[in-house]
Structure 1
Amino acid sequence: MGAVDLTGKVALVTGASAGLGRQFAQTLARTGAAVVLTARRTERLDELVAAIAAEGGKAVAQPLDLRDPAAIVAAFDAAEKAFGTVDILINNAGIADANFAARLSLETIDAVIDTNFRAPFLTATEMARRLIAAERPGRIVNLSSVGAFTYAPTSSAALYSATKAGIKRLTETLAIEWAKFHINVNAIAPGMFLSEMTEGYLDRVGDGVKKFWPRGRFGQPDYLDSTLLYLVDPASHFVTGTCIIVDDGQMNR
């Protein structure tokens, strides 16, 4: 398999304003895709649009509150108006619970479930409806977590981990349901990567946690580039319903 060429593809990335989402958007743009950047913080999206354009790429910013189903439909409408039918979806946006389960407020519980599970389901089905109607293939990449596979008494992320386990299973079931339509659904389960989301965790526990890992290092956002591109590459058309752990051997199996 040679270099990935996504020229002519339209990608929509959720949570593109920072961290992994920003990296994913830039990586897709650099390989030729026209990218629709979505998030609530539009000023950051505008800056990213300019950065992508400076490299010769194509991108537009679209404000999106993923807890609003109507806004999700509007985002796909806007994407089609700007570039055409979305055929690559990166369900990256997510929030952490950052506390033990019995201490979570109902507001936090609803926010975590709505953002981490309900929203990816709604974005995936919205994209699939449009692709099925247009009789076009597509690629969906969901962001799970190693928390879907392993948990410790001190993790203080029970709800977050449960939603990410749900994403793994959703990936598997949607892949089967949509295989006949040539819509491939896969997931990435990152370990501890340096991002805006993990900053709060590291502020609480410190970076000494890395001493327990075989290679003693955190992931950098660009370490996920090759996995992302593998899953969206038209050449990987036989790969669907899988969740790839990318954690440098940090976690137990």
Structure 2
Amino acid sequence: MAEISNQLRNPLSAFDVVGKVYIITGASGTFGRGCALTLASMGAKVCLAAGSGAELAEVATEVAELGGECVTIQRRPDTLEDAEAILATALDKFGTVDGLVIASGFNKAGYIHEQPLEEWEAVMNANVRGNWLMAKAVGKWWIDNNRRGGKVLMMSSVRGRHGNVSGYTGYCTSKGATDALTRVLATEWAKYGITVNSIAPTVFRSKLTAWMWSDSEVGQATRARSLARIPLGRLGEVEDLMGMALYLLSPASDFCTGQIMYVDGGLTAG
């Protein structure tokens, strides 16, 4: 009989992140906060970066309440200097980095014939340029220091694959670019043992989508239209994304890279 491996004897050991260090950008947002609390509750250490100091402090307090260890920096990866400062904060505090969650982002809807170029560029800069800069800073540190096994997780969307009737030429284009960046970095960095994946949800409850849960006529209509396309019959909650996030940030996903993981209630299946 074949020997039973330790991982088959103890499958949960593959999800062990105790003592590992993760940088999370956009940490004050719904997805970033969810990742911070999930990782902290599992024994990981987190470096939290965001533009809002007050909201960042709230998440840091929640991490501490869970018994987690964290450091914060009020900065977004708008420039390479910003990205390197975020990395330096994590290294100064913890001495290493094992994973990177790029959860910072932005959206400004507008029909292409009406939207100013500056708004489209702002969406692309936040959702694509920021991803590239943050991945560049951390990936370079891993490669220069011969650190194998790094984990990169980016935030995509079903809108990287599907269009939208609501004037999303910036958002959809940026998420399509995120998908492409995920795949090319995965192949480029595979020889270093670095995995790169993205989570692509459908609409889930967040600060940006709270209006869809309201009783307003527009909120109700938009919610109904979204629900009609989801086979499971409900919109998402951030908790629905955390199992996938933990998988992609833990040793359980060591043979998974370059993937766009749809957590969408079946929307992309129909």
> By the TM > 0.5 criterion, same fold?
yes
- Pairing partner for 1:220 from 237, 246, 264: 237
- Pair 1:95-2:106 in alignment: yes
CA contact (8 A) 2:109 2:170 kept: no
- Pair 1:209-2:219 in alignment: no
Tell me by how many angstroms 1:97 deviates: 2.2
CA contact (8 A) 1:148 1:161 kept: yes
CA contact (8 A) 1:97 1:109 kept: yes
What is aligned with 1:117? 128
Q: Secondary structure at the match of 1:140?
A: strand
Moved more, 196-205 or 228-237: 196-205
Separation in 1, partners of 2:251, 2:269: 32
Separation in 2, partners of 1:145, 1:27: 20
Over 3 Å counting, the alpha-carbon distance change for 1:233 and 1:102 in structure 2 is same
What is aligned with 2:4? none
The TM-score with structure 2 as length reference comes to: 0.88
CA contact (8 A) 1:97 1:104 kept: no
- Pair 1:238-2:255 in alignment: yes
Q: Secondary structure at the match of 2:174?
A: helix
What is aligned with 2:172? 161
Moved more, 7-16 or 164-173: 7-16
Tell me by how many angstroms 1:69 deviates: 2.4
What is aligned with 2:152? 140
Over 3 Å counting, the alpha-carbon distance change for 1:220 and 1:56 in structure 2 is same
What is aligned with 1:83? 94
Q: Secondary structure at the match of 2:209?
A: helix
CA contact (8 A) 1:16 1:38 kept: yes
- Structure 2, unaligned runs of 5 or more: 1-10
Q: Deviations over 1:187-239 (max 9, x none)?
A: 11111101112235667443222441323211000111110111111132111
Tell me by how many angstroms 1:109 deviates: 1.6
What is aligned with 2:187? 176
Tell me by how many angstroms 1:105 deviates: 1.6
Q: Secondary structure at the match of 1:13?
A: strand
1:43-58 alignment to 2 at 5 Å? 43-58=54-69
Tell me by how many angstroms 1:121 deviates: 0.6
Over 3 Å counting, the alpha-carbon distance change for 1:122 and 1:145 in structure 2 is same
The TM-score with structure 1 as length reference comes to: 0.94
Q: Deviations over 1:152-186 (max 9, x none)?
A: 4x232121111101111111000111111111001
Separation in 2, partners of 1:211, 1:71: 39
Tell me by how many angstroms 1:7 deviates: 1.6
CA contact (8 A) 1:17 1:48 kept: yes
Q: Secondary structure at the match of 1:112?
A: helix
RMSD (Å), alpha carbons = 1.7
Tell me by how many angstroms 1:65 deviates: 2.5
Q: Provide the identity percentage.
A: 34
- Tell which structure's C-alpha radius of gyration is larger: 2
CA contact (8 A) 1:95 1:197 kept: no
